[in-house]
Structure 1
Amino acid sequence: MSVRSRSLWFLTFIGVLVLFPWLGATHLSDEDEGYFGSAALEMWTRGDWIVPMFNGEMFGHKPPFMYWMMMLGFEAFGANEFSARVFSAVFGLAAALVTYLLGERLFNSRTGLIAGLVMLTSVFANIVARAATPDSFLTFFSTAAIYCFVRQYFTQQAAALAESAPGRPAIASPVRISFPTAVAMAFLMGLGTLVKGPVGIILPMAVIGLFLLWMTPQIELPVGANRWSRWRHSLRRFGPSNFLATLWRMRPITTLAVTICVAGPWYLAVSRATDGRFLQEFFGVHHLHRFASPMDSHHGSLLYYVMTILIGMFPWSIFAMPIGLRIAARLRTRVAAPQLVLLLCWAGVYIVAFSLAATKLPNYVLPAYPALALLVGVAINDWLTREAAISLNWLRAAFSIPVAVGGVLLIAALVVSVCGQQGEYLLGRYQVDVAVQSRLLYVAVLGLPLLAGGFLAFWLLDNVGRGAALKSVGVLSVVNCLVLWGVVAPGLDGLQTPQLLVEHGRKCCHSEDAVLAQFGCFRPSMVFYWRQPIRMLASTQAVAEFLHREPHGFIVTTTAGMAKFSPEISSEVAVLDQRSQFPKKGEIVMLRRTDPVTEHVALPKRSLARHPY
């Protein structure tokens, strides 16, 4: 078996280990999973593969590819959480495998192997790959499109290097993307536009275009040229004439034509089906408006993504400082390798583009994670190969981070969950339910592998060698994922009270005439678990009208909402279930009518078969 085959099989084994177990062990979380899972379920029950719907209304947030994958999951495994997430995990694994192939092509097999492992086990990439969201799909298609370009460019570069005479440049003329490569890239980017819209094609093309501009062959200046002359000469490659020439070499007409052939039919169909309303909401609200102004309070500074990436790539981000210094040293030499330039262009385009946008979310820059993972892989491979590449002090500083994080998690969770005054929990003074506080002990469990892994790395560094210590980080990352999904996530799932409340209500009523409404308490995932649209009640008068018109009516509200009810309304309802409204104060309740019409309602589990919207 070849080195490539062994590496791919190893990454597949790790991917299956950290992505698929307990995939359906937790309820869909709000907001994103609740919206997207519910929309996919509604499309599936309606048999509609064109128009995304949520709670009975058009849902213009995202194109359909993610919903299609969930619908296939529902067809194969039924309407449940596993089905909504399984293809996200499949594409997350596929993105890691493509990252390996990129690392092998650009550097060597071990670099690709490390980068693939980073993609599977870094905290945020692992979480997203296990979530019913579109980001794993977009990351795969963007990475695969760049891989197609890399195959041609660096193959051509290697051929030019082999044919060039000593002392001559490896590539004597600018590279033109071949027609087959352009078609393959456009096909993948077209699928990307069916995942998240224009970013599926604009940003991968921007990465490749910026790289080609940077790599434009330059005439060597005289040795005595001053710094200003060198800067002016370097910036000429980004001038208008070279920009247009580079754009033409990227075959924009072919790319646009193939992309339209792939994605155009759906965009045309959804436009016709909704009289253009879907495209107006999708492009006008969820692209232009999100870029120009923050939506849903999702905002941040220009350093927002620097901080979220450091957290999201944990535990591998413990090496961020030495890797950053290593890259800066390479750039100062002005002879950075094309491979490094590509990775910097790749990460830079995504981070800068979304840093300029007003609306910010951590998942926006997930397509940059393969480039960042490859930078980690390059550095660790270098440290494993050459001991002088990193000092022991840097490694000790890095290994102290998981120890510190694990200690903080352990101590904070124990203090919050156990300590208090006069036998009460510490959070009791903030009216947080005792059951909620006790579940925070599961956070303490997450600190244990970090503490153990950090101390193990220290011991290996001093007693075995830096190679064993570095490899232990990979073991720590895998164990951390298993503890997170096997212990912590199921333990904390009880805090998702709206999901549990509505699911219990559905089980308590098998009547097809049952209707659920909400008053002052709505979470998107409630639609998924109720299996039908939920009425929105804006006032107590609307509550009274609902109770009179719906003999099989149920209402979800909060204790604060119940306090607004008139005595007449309060006499008509009884509490079916009541749970803590984590993380807010108070409780969320499900009410039902108390008249004889609903007193005989049985309690069998409601079928998961399709129900018409």
Structure 2
Amino acid sequence: MRSSRFTHYLVLIAVAGLLTFPNLGAPSLWDMDEGVNAECSREMLESGTWIVPTFNWELRTAKPVMLYWIQRPFIAAFGPTEWAARLPSALLGLGTVLLVYELGRRMFDPATGLLAGVVLASAVQFSMLSHASTPDAPLIFFTVLAFYLVWIGHERGGRGWFIWPAVACGCAVLSKGPVGLGLPGLVIVLYLAWNRELYRALDWKLLAGILVFFLVAGPWYGLVAAETRGEWTRTFFGKENFGRLTVPQENHSGPPFYYLAAVIVLFAPWSCVIGVTFWYTVKAAWGRVGVLSSTTPDTHGEREKLAEMRGATSVEAPAPSEDAVDAERRANRFLLCWFAVYLLVFSAAQTKLPNYIGPLYPALALLTARYLIRWSRREVVPARWIMPGAISGVALTGILVGVGFVISSGAVGPVSKGMRLFPGLETWAWVGLIPLAAAGVMAWYLWAGDRGRVVGAMAVGSVGLIGITAAGPVLVVDQYKAAKTLVLSSGAHQPDHEIRLAAVGYFQESLVFYAERKVSRGMPVEGMENGTPKTYERPFLPEDIADFLASPLPAYLFVPETMWDQQLAAKITSPVRIAARKYDFYRNEEILVVTNAPER
């Protein structure tokens, strides 16, 4: 048993490593999230604080502090680089994969745990979050850790399982706020209610768990409230949490089925079996495990077909014991509650972004792996068309990937006005052949009756598709981001010299990270908020820009070319030059760096 766990760990580490670490630091930061988070960690390091997060040297209230704490030592050790900013997410992603393996192993068996780890690592959304300098990877890791610790306590049948999950939830709340406690708590309550075991939560030790939670999460929230005179907590809990639930923020809205569609797309290619997975999960959750045994009705001729292929007279599996049925039922109920809570709560929220439901993907990976393992063992009997349909879905995924790369490159097809194009992506269209080849191998083994190799071919195809896409095509897209190139080629990166930077009509958060300096977005004005003096920035006027570029200090202005030519250039009387220019796909136009500094 120990040797199998060791081997499985090696496999999962290899898979997660191949999917995440190649070219991890090669693309420049993606705005806005990566730029904000990486710079916030850098500023906290530079200012020597562990309490008050800032971005562009202004208070940042959007997220708590855990990601910055985790990133800080890596930036201190390796410098302010993309690799240092993303490495914590990659390591936490690997940790989540291993936790999912352990949870699957405890809930079901080692094979299910192993496949669940591979499924999770090679799902589109999870791979993206494991590459990103965002708080999602810490939140997912601590959420899965909390559920794993709850399951251990539940499995042992005692009531003293409140303490360690409380620690994990405290870390989750430090990662992204109240969702780190509220949603895991709702999952556990629903699960216990489904099993008629709510009494297990009515124990004095729950108070100890609550105390531990506040000891973990409370000190930082208290300190940041004190040091900012309550501004951070008012804005974070009011606007960033309650506000996002009730009103679409930053135009991030969507229909009620937004997240259901997102799961189908961003769980690809494993979403090809998502329908049948939930069919058998619901059956198992109600105790109808559906094993193909001598007493199971064979409505699809499965037994006879398999017997003919094997040259045998019958194909039977022993009926499951009552204990096995109960264990299967409870595990599936737990995972269903986990998935449903995150899907439904965020579907009801008004602000919608794909990464919000990141914590449900581990549950979905476990359910998917469980179905495929049971199917490979002939413990379930889906309709004849189900798995051929899933194989067709894998093939369709490959076609869509290849066609999508070609269309996005502008090599063929009509181009709509304002469409972002990435010439060079067409050279990666061959990546779509990977799931096409995997589908062909899956079809061959399905015809031969070797279900285990069907699942194996699907896993290999998924790993190949996601791994190559994450390492290669993203570098083509990166060529059409401007922030890093503009800063470095213009001479605006001078952290040891006194210079001034400003942006008008164009601001990418990563500008601040690459320049390692404040980038002004307007003129400072004094105002009042809740009776407290506060400095605001009003938008730059043309005369402000003229004064900025007439400064005796070297000054660098980031501005779209059209704005410069049509609104600003004629109003500048001091000598200036264009220090750098580059197309930026975010704005879909050329961006300039205008400076008064002489050419070096």
Q: TM-score, normalised by structure 2?
A: 0.85
Partner of 2:72: 71
Quickly say closer, same or farther: Cα 1:288–1:550, change in 2 above 3 A.
farther
| Aligned pairs for 1:324-339 within 5 A | 324-330=278-284, 337-339=329-331
Query: 1:333, CA displacement in angstroms?
Result: 6.3
Quickly say closer, same or farther: Cα 1:122–1:416, change in 2 above 3 A.
closer
| Aligned pairs for 1:76-155 within 5 A | 76-155=77-156
Query: 1:430, CA displacement in angstroms?
Result: 4.2
Quickly say closer, same or farther: Cα 1:372–1:21, change in 2 above 3 A.
same
* 1:395 to 2:394 alignment: no
* Deviation digits for residues 157-204 of structure 1 (CA, Å, limit 9, x no counterpart): xxxxxxxxxxxxxxxxxxx631xx211111111111111112111211
Counterpart amino acid of 2:276? Answer: P
Partner of 2:578: 575
Conserved? CA contact 1:449–1:480, under 8 Å:
yes
* 1:206 to 2:186 alignment: yes
Quickly say closer, same or farther: Cα 1:85–1:585, change in 2 above 3 A.
closer
Q: Secondary structure at the match of 1:216?
A: coil
* Deviation digits for residues 63-111 of structure 1 (CA, Å, limit 9, x no counterpart): 1110011111112222101110111111111111111111111111101
Query: 1:499, CA displacement in angstroms?
Result: 3.0
Partner of 1:177: 159
Counterpart amino acid of 2:546? Answer: A
Query: 1:533, CA displacement in angstroms?
Result: 0.8
Quickly say closer, same or farther: Cα 1:414–1:263, change in 2 above 3 A.
closer
Distance between the aligned counterparts of 2:349 and 2:170, measured in 1?
23
Quickly say closer, same or farther: Cα 1:415–1:185, change in 2 above 3 A.
closer
Distance between the aligned counterparts of 2:513 and 2:561, measured in 1?
23
Unaligned runs of 5+ in 1: 157-175, 218-241, 603-613
* Deviation digits for residues 33-76 of structure 1 (CA, Å, limit 9, x no counterpart): 11111111111111211110000100011111100111111122
Conserved? CA contact 2:36–2:510, under 8 Å:
yes
* 1:565 to 2:561 alignment: no
Partner of 1:548: 550
Conserved? CA contact 1:446–1:488, under 8 Å:
no
Partner of 1:461: 446
Query: 1:412, CA displacement in angstroms?
Result: 4.4
Partner of 2:173: 193
Indicate the larger mover: 392-401 or 354-363: 392-401
* 1:404 to 2:403 alignment: no
Partner of 1:237: none
Counterpart amino acid of 2:477? Answer: L
| Aligned pairs for 1:12-411 within 5 A | 12-156=13-157, 177-178=159-160, 181-216=161-196, 245=199, 247-249=201-203, 251-330=205-284, 337-386=329-378, 389-411=381-403
* Deviation digits for residues 437-483 of structure 1 (CA, Å, limit 9, x no counterpart): 42332552442323232233223333573321221111112111221
Conserved? CA contact 1:417–1:426, under 8 Å:
no
Conserved? CA contact 2:98–2:117, under 8 Å:
yes
Unaligned runs of 5+ in 2: 289-325, 523-538
Partner of 1:591: 594
Counterpart amino acid of 2:177? Answer: G
Indicate the larger mover: 136-145 or 570-579: 570-579
Distance between the aligned counterparts of 1:550 and 1:466, measured in 2?
74
Query: 1:566, CA displacement in angstroms?
Result: 4.9
Indicate the larger mover: 142-151 or 406-415: 406-415
* Deviation digits for residues 309-357 of structure 1 (CA, Å, limit 9, x no counterpart): 1112111111112112223444566788111111111111111111111
Query: 1:255, CA displacement in angstroms?
Result: 2.0
Counterpart amino acid of 1:340? Answer: N
Indicate the larger mover: 140-149 or 542-551: 542-551
Distance between the aligned counterparts of 2:521 and 2:169, measured in 1?
39
Q: Secondary structure at the match of 1:535?
A: coil
Quickly say closer, same or farther: Cα 1:348–1:388, change in 2 above 3 A.
closer
Conserved? CA contact 1:442–1:487, under 8 Å:
no
Conserved? CA contact 2:432–2:465, under 8 Å:
no
Quickly say closer, same or farther: Cα 1:378–1:30, change in 2 above 3 A.
same
Distance between the aligned counterparts of 2:367 and 2:214, measured in 1?
34
Quickly say closer, same or farther: Cα 1:506–1:210, change in 2 above 3 A.
farther
Distance between the aligned counterparts of 1:276 and 1:388, measured in 2?
56
Counterpart amino acid of 1:208? Answer: I
Identity of aligned residues (%): 30
Partner of 1:449: 434
Distance between the aligned counterparts of 1:204 and 1:432, measured in 2?
40
Distance between the aligned counterparts of 1:446 and 1:316, measured in 2?
17
Query: 1:15, CA displacement in angstroms?
Result: 1.7
Conserved? CA contact 1:19–1:89, under 8 Å:
yes
Counterpart amino acid of 2:336? Answer: L
Quickly say closer, same or farther: Cα 1:411–1:18, change in 2 above 3 A.
closer
Quickly say closer, same or farther: Cα 1:419–1:441, change in 2 above 3 A.
closer
> Hey, which of these two has a bigger chunk of helix by percent?
1
Q: Secondary structure at the match of 1:45?
A: helix
Counterpart amino acid of 1:383? Answer: W
Partner of 1:172: none
Quickly say closer, same or farther: Cα 1:177–1:481, change in 2 above 3 A.
same
Counterpart amino acid of 2:520? Answer: R
Counterpart amino acid of 2:226? Answer: R
Counterpart amino acid of 1:564? Answer: Q
Distance between the aligned counterparts of 1:64 and 1:143, measured in 2?
19
Query: 1:546, CA displacement in angstroms?
Result: 1.1
Partner of 1:504: 489
Conserved? CA contact 2:143–2:172, under 8 Å:
yes
* Deviation digits for residues 226-247 of structure 1 (CA, Å, limit 9, x no counterpart): xxxxxxxxxxxxxxxx6xx554
Quickly say closer, same or farther: Cα 1:413–1:313, change in 2 above 3 A.
closer
Q: Secondary structure at the match of 1:28?
A: coil
Counterpart among 510, 528, 531 of residue 513 in structure 2 = 528
* 1:414 to 2:417 alignment: no
Q: Secondary structure at the match of 2:352?
A: coil
RMSD: 2.3
Partner of 1:220: none
Query: 1:507, CA displacement in angstroms?
Result: 6.4
Distance between the aligned counterparts of 1:355 and 1:40, measured in 2?
31
Indicate the larger mover: 141-150 or 462-471: 462-471
Quickly say closer, same or farther: Cα 1:536–1:419, change in 2 above 3 A.
closer
Distance between the aligned counterparts of 1:142 and 1:486, measured in 2?
27
